[in-house]
Structure 1
Amino acid sequence: MESTPPRLLLVEDDPALAGLLADLLHEEGYAVDVVGDGHRGLHQGLTRDYQLMVVDRGLPALDGLDLVVRLREHGVGCPILLLTARGGVDDRVAGLDAGAEDYLVKPFEVPELLARLRALRRRHPDAAHWLPLGSRRLDVTNRRVLDGADEIPLSAREFAVLRALAGRPTRVFTREELLRAAFTGADAPGTVDACVHHLRRKLGRDTVRTVHGLGYRLGTA
């Protein structure tokens, strides 16, 4: 048996269905996070690690297909199952082409959903969440940076800062934002500066860019 339950993200805007599915998935052994719109689903998918995702296609704020596309663009590799009321061939093809591994049409039987999720886990036992880092790769699942086959050792805090920056590579983060994203509230803003200093020393000065008067953003690695 696994020492920790597999973490699953459920993105469903119907509160009654979301609550029912969350309870059933919990009984099945998953640790479930539930969000009700595409924007929150994107935030969760980029800031936490999941072994599986179940995404409704008809979401507010950001459509389920667009959500899947954006997650894949940012290197999220975990299996995704789309739920939808649209059962046409073109709709199924669109979902699979967007990057989903499976597609289930509403209304569905819960045993089938659970069986499909078990099948996805069997087919993708080592699904990893990768983010590009210039010529390197950031392995979010195993919390490491790879340069080819070589691992570059980072502390937990250094990795947390780099993970936040790499998850939103075009965004400028203030020190306070990085502090909230990567540390506990007890840490001082200077902790971020120290981590940036060590990241530059280990990965190169261009890895993290200083945007004067604002904060930091991802550079080139």
Structure 2
Amino acid sequence: MLYQLRHTGPETCHIQEKGYSSQLTIQDQRHIISLAFRMWSEVSPLEFVEDTFSPLEDVDIKLGFGTGRHLGCNQKFDGTGREFAHAWFLGDVHFDDDEHFTAPNTGSGISLLKVAVHEIGHVLGLPHIYRTGSIMQPSYLPQESGFEINWMDRKAIQHLYGGCKGQFSTVFDWIRKERTQYGEVVIRFNTYFMRDGWYWLYENRVFLYLYYFLHCRITSEDINTIK
């Protein structure tokens, strides 16, 4: 599979695809790669648009899957394990198709989304960041139920390209109670940001942790008082 990226201006790029991996359906691959680019566009002024028409010579960045000697690359893949992918600044991204790439939140395999976000970071000019929680740390961590580009990654990409432009048209919090499969009532707290037909969702996990911590502490104090 080849995804091709063409710069049409300082803040706009076009993605084109040609060929696919053997690991996932075509629909899943297109969705995952598009989501990986979107995660970077959400924290920077960069915009990415899928382009299925431009010839290879008109694009700056190509993404593809291969095994062993692949895609004319002088760097050979090592089969299953160790290196999952490699990329170059404003160059190509290659994924090792011998790896067991999977869609997000499947609970097994290697998350194509996490690897793609990491490698696209290199394409955009980011080095490895040796800090826990960064998507740019050199070691791959097992799949999580969800992940995001954290403050270190945002600071690094905005240092290169600047911050996001424009204001959100609407911002609101949605706080609600939900019942788990075990019958427990939990609090969900999300913040929504809306602009030009797009929306961004932020899950306020710290708030939830503090809520439960305080709730449990108060309950414990009440019990001690009763005793």
TM over 0.5: no
TM-score, normalization by structure 1:
0.28
- By percentage of residues, which structure has more helix? 1
